[in-house]
Structure 1
């Protein structure tokens, strides 16, 4: 089982705060351009978080495969599939 590090948790907490901020903007009827700008920033933050999580998982899987004397091809393909699916 993967243990997520502090960086991942901090990123997700910031995203959570950004979403709350957008909810407040919507409740206050802020200009749609401002809302969309903030939503774009959230999407970018989510994409970077996905990349970080996939990279950390891939690193662990490759290390594990290496320790077991196995090829890491399956782990690499799984990571690529996760990234493609997230788009």
Structure 2
């Protein structure tokens, strides 16, 4: 499965910046849906964050997803890679 990677940086209430990638099928072009996936992920965190918008989340590149990631995207619609300050 070919996917689009959306590089995302969101400020936390404690001043740290979360960095995570939102992975979606490469044919998904509806920005509100992609940002909705990011907001869904943020809602699982025990701390408050700033809003997620085009300022914080930008298309980065396309790549081939590993099978395990492709399986999750097929079922859930997206996959998150936590990079920094997501805990």
**TM-score w.r.t. length of structure 2:** 0.29
Greater Rg by CA = 1
**TM-score w.r.t. length of structure 1:** 0.29
Higher relative contact order (CA 8 A, sep 6+): 2
Determine which structure has the larger strand proportion and give its number.
2
